[in-house]
Amino acid sequence: MKNRTKNKSKKRSSKASLIIKVGLLLVASLLICATAYGVYIAKQAEHAADSAHEELKGRDISSLRDEKVEPVHDNVSVLFVGVDDSENRGQGSEHSRSDALILATLNNKTKTVKMLSIPRDSYVYIPSMGRNDKITHAHAHGGTLSTIDTVEKLLDVPIDYYVRMNFNAFIDVVDALGGIEADVPYSLHEKDEFDRNSINLKPGLQHLNGSQALALARTRKQDNDIERGKRQQEILSAIMEKASSVSSISKYDDVIKALGDNMKTNMTFSEMKSFLSYLSQGMPRIDSLTLDGTDDMSTGVYYYKLNQESVDEISKTLKNHLDYNKTSSNLTNKNTDKANAVGNDATENKNAQ
């Protein structure tokens, strides 16, 4: 009896030992796979970042900065430029109009973000053109550099980094993440990115694919540029939230490919990785900002005339968030002073609509 008991005990011990060994082997295998995948993703990301990297000629740092900032320990700003360079609408990425402009400031100490949408029809002074016009025309006239100079002139805030994306990147990223959750404010009927098929959405919170999210980001038929800017901020936040979730880790490969093929930025791979600190404790707090103004059709051409008090207030808010105290009186917005130029430019601008 004692021998039988000992044998049974040995068998149980052997089985338990085998289970533990198999368990440890599985855990080790998973760790190896996870590490290998992490290395693979890192290599893919570095390759995509290298492909997307672009230095603008004559601009190492912002003219409003004394020295180059580093996102690993400095407060920085990023200008997101969305362009439509499709065959139907665009003329190449550097000659297309900017369809979306979002300026984000990031505070390294508080790990917070302030996000400002600039309406595409805002009537502002464009340095590369030497006159006032819609801000969307800055990119068509002088590409990314002209857009950056115009935004800096408008807000007197340094632009440290830029990210220029076309609509293909937007669609592919959303699709790679498996779609996003977004609130549709009203029944929406828009053409798709090819201006062929119709995108039809009902009001309410919905799960959207890339084409549907783009339609929501672009529409302004039932409201205006201000509301569209708010939607674009909400969609960008939804993309960031989805990308930061654990469930999206396995999808990073497709996301990286989408960005690498359709994005240009002056960030290096090392600088991009620095921004991951903002996601270390989940989604950062994002405050949305808007520029007040009025619709203007006095010349027969639509403009969004910015309220100078609103521009000054937004400028102050962004500077405080960046802890940027440098004053530059020669870089204040000349929108109000040049208001009389609208009439002179109206005929020329009609041809650009």
Using 50, 70 and 90 to split pLDDT, how confident is the model at 329? very low
Residue 139 pLDDT exceeds 90 = yes
Least confident of 45-54, 55-64, 201-210, 334-343: 334-343
In terms of Cα–Cα distance, which of 58, 75, 85, 99 is closest to 263?
Answer: 85
- The answer to whether residue 70 is domain-embedded is yes
Residues 6+ apart with CB under 8 A from 7: none
Contact 151, 307 (CB under 8 A): no
Distance CA 240, CA 243 (A): 5
**Residue 7 burial (CB count, 10 A):** 10
- The answer to whether residue 147 is domain-embedded is yes
Here the CATH number for the domain that contains residue 339 is 3.40.630.190
- The answer to whether residue 45 is domain-embedded is no
Query: pTM for this one?
Result: 0.73
- The answer to whether residue 46 is domain-embedded is no
Tokens read off for 99: 């369809």
Which residues constitute the domain of residue 202? Answer: 53-350
Residues 6+ apart with CB under 8 A from 266: 53, 54, 55, 56, 161, 162
Q: What is the pLDDT of residue 17?
A: 60
- The answer to whether residue 5 is domain-embedded is no
Using 50, 70 and 90 to split pLDDT, how confident is the model at 25? low
Contact 100, 232 (CB under 8 A): yes
- The answer to whether residue 284 is domain-embedded is yes
- The answer to whether residue 204 is domain-embedded is yes
Q: Which residue has the tokens 């912002």?
A: 62
Contact 277, 271 (CB under 8 A): no
Q: What is the pLDDT of residue 233?
A: 84
- The answer to whether residue 141 is domain-embedded is yes
Residues 6+ apart with CB under 8 A from 151: 79, 101, 103, 118, 135, 157, 159
For residue range 297-314, list pLDDT tens digits in order: 999 999 999 999 999 999
Structural domain total, the chain: 1
Label the pairing between strands 188-191 and 180-184. Answer: unpaired
Residues in the chain: 353
Q: What is the pLDDT of residue 339?
A: 40
Tokens read off for 299: 């010349």
Q: Summarize the confidence of residues 111-132 as an average pLDDT.
A: 94
